[in-house]
């Protein structure tokens, strides 16, 4: 369990209330949340769930296995026997095929071992990205839970003498004055964090696009 897992259950009522207000009332016309909503294409609670689904631990061990396979390919390439004392056209044809196979397995920029090493680097980068993304979102959620906007959403619509228990939102109902602004403010902070993290992921994927291109010998 990390910080995001720890804060998630506490922040659920707030995020669901934010989603409800945005869905039923919307946000002020010129609010900064609109361009961020268009970037992320998810309401805050759905966006948070998408980040919570990232499991860096499941990817963390893959790079070691990939690097081990890369070393194996390099070893196979180095072990291919040369023609030795064998000569003639057949020997030359064999040696040419041996060299092509060795280069395909190891040593070249597009060799199998280099591609495996690059894939391992990507796995490490994605693991780091997942950990960093989860941590950054946890910090943002901790901040918004203590914000004046969260308090406004918690207390909105509460009649005198009927306080809302800590950590819970008022049941669904008419949106009070100021709730739309508060919900938009919370949504903007959460979605900006998610959008920034996913922009980083897109850069990682774009930088490794050549790994998806199959190449022959």
Q: How far is 14 from 12, CA to CA, in rounded Å?
A: 5
Closest of 192, 138, 203, 186 to residue 7, by C-alpha: 138
Evaluate if residue 160 carries a pLDDT over 60.
no
Look at residue 207 in the predicted model and tell me its pLDDT. Answer: 83
Q: What is the mean pLDDT of residues 127-140?
A: 96
Evaluate if residue 214 carries a pLDDT over 90.
no
Closest of 26, 10, 9, 29 to residue 18, by C-alpha: 26
Angle between helices 33-40 and 179-207 (to 10 degrees): 40
Q: Return all residues near 183 (Cβ < 8 A) that are at least 6 apart.
A: 17, 18, 21, 22, 25, 27, 149, 153
Q: Read off the pLDDT of residues 45-68 as tens digits, 9 standing for 90 and up.
A: 999 999 999 999 888 888 889 989
Q: Read off the pLDDT of residues 76-97 as tens digits, 9 standing for 90 and up.
A: 988 888 888 788 888 889 889 9
Look at residue 210 in the predicted model and tell me its pLDDT. Answer: 76
pTM strictly above 0.85: no
Q: How far is 102 from 80, CA to CA, in rounded Å?
A: 7
Look at residue 157 in the predicted model and tell me its pLDDT. Answer: 41
Look at residue 8 in the predicted model and tell me its pLDDT. Answer: 92
Domain boundaries, the chain: 3-56+124-212
Q: What percent of the chain has pLDDT over 70?
A: 87
Question: Could you give the residue ranges of the DSSP H alpha helices within the chain?
Answer: 3-24, 33-40, 44-52, 56-60, 62-79, 89-105, 112-145, 148-155, 179-207
Query: How many Cβ atoms from other residues are within 10 Å of residue 66's Cβ?
Result: 20
Residue with the larger pLDDT of the pair 192 and 81:
192
pLDDT band at 113 (very low <50, low <70, confident <90, very high): confident
Q: How far is 74 from 138, CA to CA, in rounded Å?
A: 42
Q: How far is 105 from 78, CA to CA, in rounded Å?
A: 9
């Amino acid at each position: 369990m990390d910080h995001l897992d720890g804060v998630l259950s506490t922040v659920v009522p707030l995020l669901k209330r934010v989603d409800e207000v945005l869905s039923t009332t919307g946000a002020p016309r010129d609010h900064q949340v609109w361009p961020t909503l268009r970037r992320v294409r998810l309401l805050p609670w759905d966006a948070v769930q998408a980040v919570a689904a990232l499991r860096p631990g499941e990817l963390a061990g893959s790079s070691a296995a990939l690097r081990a396979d890369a070393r194996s390919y390099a070893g196979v390439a180095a072990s291919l026997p040369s023609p030795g004392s064998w000569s003639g056209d057949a020997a030359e044809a064999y040696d040419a095929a041996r060299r092509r196979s060795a280069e395909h397995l190891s040593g070249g920029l597009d060799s199998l071992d280099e591609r495996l090493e690059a894939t391992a680097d990507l796995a490490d980068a994605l693991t780091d990205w997942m950990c960093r993304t989860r941590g950054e979102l946890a910090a943002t959620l901790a901040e918004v839970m203590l914000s004046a906007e969260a308090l406004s959403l918690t207390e909105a619509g509460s009649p005198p003498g009927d306080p809302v228990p800590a950590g819970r939102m008022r049941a669904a109902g008419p949106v009070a004055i100021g709730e739309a602004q508060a919900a938009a403010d919370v949504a903007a902070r959460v979605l900006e964090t998610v959008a920034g993290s996913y922009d980083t992921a897109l850069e990682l994927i774009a930088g490794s696009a050549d790994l998806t291109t199959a190449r022959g010998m």
